[in-house]
Homo-oligomer: A and B are copies of this chain.
């Protein structure tokens, strides 16, 4: 029987080990922490024992992070082993290079669990939807931020929602990687690379997190029948590929609007529009790892996920959107006149304006613009007198 090495026995790794063991597969486990041993299963703290064992047919890398995960994956492939990983960071950063090593060694490199947890979105894009001509991918790809935003829509403030997410195990002790949108950026970079047969790195495009969103913004969205989501998207446009991760107010009728709490979803727009939704976090990703393992055991052939297509990645300034803007404005006549004057000078049209509260000194004012370039918005905001109107929140609007 084919022997499988599993490196990394955290929540995901130990779940995968248990499931595969239950299915009667022959496993060798590895973790630097001896306490992670599972009784009855061979265990080592030295990954090289797995990487150099000629009887090991497949390595499942579940330690996460860039290093030594990269070296383990590359080493396993070079030693003639197939590899399954859930490591979005490594695939984002080194996907093309690792894939090349896999192809040269005629081995499989699979990573379904790296994006969308249990949702088989990589397989859908790579195999199931080749006839769909997908032009745009939009996703809720980070469970932490989706949980926080959902709870904020249920009227919790940001800090309370974050704390709750941490207590429930949906957010890391240091949540900044998720909160700032970087996790979602790595994931959309991977999906876009597969769909458009190219290789895009997550550091190459516009990423904005959810940390400046407050209850004023959420209540405004509610009042409009909108839902605030951290949307990661990739779309082919006439002049290049537009990739972005940014908080976005979407209509309650949008296919992603009902994706709540820690759930993830991907919406694919092509000749047909398809939505895939499910559990994105934690143990649920084990199902994707196991599906990949089974596929390799069933004789899957090495294949290319990425490609050499070259696209111009649109710069931040070239993004076009409607924008929701929240200002802290002085409570004096003429404030709106000042803001609208600056927007008008920059040829930005206003769709909606609303004062969000009352105060003796500063009042929050919401403005939703019609479509404009992000660069245009930025120069307008730069021309505002911050003593009159201080910008506190910028959220894209898709409604």
Contact = CB atoms under 8 A, between A and B. Distances in A.
Interface of A: 19, 112, 117-120, 123-124, 127-133, 255, 257-258, 265, 270-279, 284, 286-295
Main secondary structure of the interface of A (DSSP, over half): mixed
A130 B275 CA distance: 20
Nearest to A288: B131
A369 to B, nearest CB: 29
Contacts of A257: 258
6 contacts: A118-B273, A130-B295, A131-B289, A257-B258, A275-B277, A276-B277
A147 to B, nearest CB: 16
A314 to B, nearest CB: 27
Given A120-B129, A123-B127, A294-B131, A270 B255 contact: no
**What are the nearest 9 A-B pairs in CB distance?**
A131-B290, A120-B128, A118-B272, A131-B291, A274-B278, A272-B284, A123-B128, A132-B287, A275-B277
A278 B284 contact: no
Contacts of A291: 127-132
B123 A293 contact: no
A140 to B, nearest CB: 13
A123 B119 CA distance: 13
B274 A277 contact: yes
A27 to B, nearest CB: 15
A270 B258 contact: no
B130 A118 contact: no
A120 B274 contact: yes
Given A123-B128, A129-B287, A276-B277, 5 more contacts: A120-B274, A127-B295, A130-B291, A133-B287, A273-B278
A132 B290 CA distance: 8
Contacts of A288: 131
Most central of A273, A275, A292, A295 by chain B CB within 10 Å? A275
Nearest to A275: B277
A128 B131 contact: no
B276 A275 contact: yes
Contacts of A129: 120, 287, 291
A128 B120 CA distance: 6
A132 B15 CA distance: 13
A276 B112 CA distance: 16
A237 to B, nearest CB: 21
Contacts of A293: 131
A127 B19 CA distance: 18
A119 B294 contact: no
A150 to B, nearest CB: 12
Most central of A117, A273, A293 by chain B CB within 10 Å? A273
